[in-house]
Structure 1
């Protein structure tokens, strides 16, 4: 098992708008292709502000590649990406692949 950990820095004042657009147009398409996320969070009070962090669990890098390939091929996802890019809410994105420690079971 691996976790795809993504952090988005959202421009100040844009977090509610980003979450509204993603929640109505992006999240449903991701659920269809990726299943339920391992976690989806916002950082608003302590530490770096205006961040969105989400994590998706995959069986392997090959599983991630197949699921994300299907997501990228979905016209609804492409429409969401175009709207999101046009809105310009995201200032920066960081992506990490996490592997569980040997003593921790992600299942």
Structure 2
């Protein structure tokens, strides 16, 4: 199992509109292809204006296949157009669970 952490630093003042576009346009496409997310988060303390999502995959091959299907979905470009200019920085990390992690 691997965990994909996606951290988006959102343009100041755009977190609300970003989350609204994501919930209505992006999330349905992702759920269709990636399955249910582990979770979604916004920052409350520390560096603000971040939206973080986490997705669980069996392995890199499954992740690649799922993401390829998602990127090829005809509804995905509408989401990308809706959030254009809202993201300053995007960081993606793939996390592998430690042997004692409850998420395995």
* Aligned counterpart, 1:25: 25
Aligned to 1:90: 87
Q: What runs of 5+ residues in structure 2 fail to find an aligned partner?
A: none
Paired with 1:55 and 1:98, the residues of 2 have a C-alpha distance of: 10
CA distance in 2 between counterparts of 1:6 and 1:58 reads 13
The CA distance in 2 between the partners of 1:97 and 1:25, in whole Å, is 24
Q: Which residue of 1 aligns with 2:69?
A: 70
Q: What is the TM-score of this pair, normalised by structure 1? A: 0.92
- TM-score scaled by structure 2? 0.95
Q: SS of the residue aligned with 1:96?
A: strand
Structure 1: which 5+ residue stretches go unaligned? none
**What is residue 59 of structure 2 aligned with on the other side?**
60
CA distance in 1, matches of 2:70, 2:20: 20
How many residues are aligned here?
104
Question: Following superposition, which runs of at least 4 residues in structure 1 exceed 3 angstroms of deviation?
Answer: none
The equivalent residue for 1:79 is 78
